[in-house]
Structure formats: structure tokens, C-alpha cells
Copies of this chain bind each other. A is one copy, B any other.
Amino acid sequence: MEDLNKYPHPFVTVDLFIFSIINDKLSVCLSKRETPPFKDVYSLIGTFIHEDESAEGAICRLLEEKLGVTNDLVLNQLQTFTSLHRDPRGRVISISYYTIVSNPDLIKPSWAEWFNIEETSIGLKFIGKNTFLEDNLGFDHAKIINAGVKQLQEKVENSYNTFSFQFLKDKNAFTAFDLQTVINAVFLGKKNELLNRGNFKKYILNRYEELKYIEKYDKEVKNTKGRPKDVYRIIER
């Protein structure tokens, strides 16, 4: 059999971005690089793929060992980036993944920071606690995040799926309002006008209920004025 070693082989990394919703805004978790290249610059969280693991395996290792996340998360492969000079260290290709956490506090390390995503006329900008990012991300990661946000929106667009449920903080007690907040966040506020409250409840939530994706099970314990919201929980399959 042919000897593979006669072929030059590029290095392969996985890069992950984690989405969540913070203060009703779509947010992404980035890290400040502690080593060159791009020392002190923010970028996606990544690692080289080891010989004995798949790309998903590398992402899981990243989540467990570096980020301390042991929950089972749904991993979505986004795209593989291969342009020649994307990494100054040499020939490195990157397989990018994204995932969703409902609770941003799941990510413990201090070097991992959350950034709200906002849309400007020229593109996305990322607003951290003390930092403000626009195009100043390491590698080609600004481009990757743009592609990721777009794909996330496409996945949620198709209303009659359960993809957006991943953002819900409590899968056993949420309301139409909660889910609509998620969807508004994913679309960076732009869908606010598109679907009014009444129709959302009637056509989206009631439809999910008919399809047995969710079930009503109790009224909200509330302490504000007004009629209490219907409370749902997800029906596990």
C-alpha cells in the first residue's frame, strides 16, 4: 500500500464558538490568546486535532479539559477554512464548529469572555465587558463568526423545528414570551416587528403543542400585574 508520508500534510485545528443569550442579546464566547501568534488578541477557542481523535472528539476534549463543560452539547459543523495564509505559523486548516449553551455561566475560565453581538451597517461588532471588537479578531475568525451567525439564523428561520429550544434557560418551564425573546435575539433584534405577540403564541406555540414538541403543564408563578402566561415544557423524545 502507498506510503502516505511522501505527501506534505497541513496541520488541522478545530475552532469552536459557543452561542448563548445574555441580557436578551445573542452572545458569543471568545478568548484572549495567551501565546503567539496574535498574543493578546481575541479569537475563537481552538485546538489541534490529535492523531487518535475525530474532530468532534477534539471539540469534546476542548469543552471538558479547557472549558470544564461536561454537559452533552449538540455540535454543529459549520465550515472548513483552508486559505493559505490564514495562520502565520504555517499551513493550518480549521474545521469550525458551533454549539449553544442556555446558561452562559457554564463557561468558567476567566480567559473565556462573553461578547454581545450587534449588527452595524458594515458588519457585526462584539461588545464585551471592557472590550469592543469589530474586525480585530485573530486569524480569519471574524469571517468564521459571520458565517456562523448566518447559519444559526437559517436554522432558526425554519420555524417548525426545535433548534431554538437549545437557548431556553429552563426547558421545563418557559413561556411564549421566552421563546420569542430567543428568536428576536438570534435575529439581532431585526425581527421585532415581523411577528406580533398574539400570532406568535397562536401559530408557533400552539402548533408546537399540536406537534407534541411541547406541553402546557402549569401557570406561571408570577408577581406582576396581568394575566399569567401559559407555561410549557419540552417533551423529550
Which residues of A pack against B, CB within 8 Å?
1-2, 4, 7-12, 35-37, 48-56, 77, 79-80, 82-84, 88-93, 95
Bound CA–CA A81/B53 (angstroms): 12
Bound CA–CA A208/B39 (angstroms): 51
Chain B residues positioned under 8 Å from A7 (CB to CB): 11, 48
Bound CA–CA A160/B83 (angstroms): 31
Q: Are A89 and B37 in contact (CB under 8 A)?
A: no
Q: Are B36 and A56 in contact (CB under 8 A)?
A: no
- Which 4 interchain pairs have the tightest Cβ spacing? A55-B82, A8-B51, A7-B48, A54-B82
Q: A54-B84, A82-B95 are in contact. List 10 more A-B contacts (CB 8 A).
A: A1-B88, A2-B35, A4-B89, A4-B90, A9-B9, A9-B12, A10-B51, A12-B12, A51-B91, A80-B95
| Chain B, Cβ-Cβ closest to A55 | B82
Q: Are A36 and B80 in contact (CB under 8 A)?
A: no
Bound CA–CA A35/B36 (angstroms): 42
Q: Are B92 and A2 in contact (CB under 8 A)?
A: no
Q: Are B77 and A79 in contact (CB under 8 A)?
A: yes
Chain B residues positioned under 8 Å from A1 (CB to CB): 36-37, 88-89
| Chain B, Cβ-Cβ closest to A3 | B89
Bound CA–CA A55/B9 (angstroms): 12
Q: What are 21 A-B residue pairs whose CB atoms fall within 8 Å in the complex?
A: A1-B36, A1-B37, A1-B88, A2-B35, A4-B11, A4-B89, A4-B90, A4-B92, A8-B50, A9-B10, A9-B11, A9-B48, A10-B12, A12-B12, A49-B82, A52-B84, A53-B84, A54-B83, A54-B84, A55-B93, A93-B95
Q: Are A80 and B55 in contact (CB under 8 A)?
A: yes
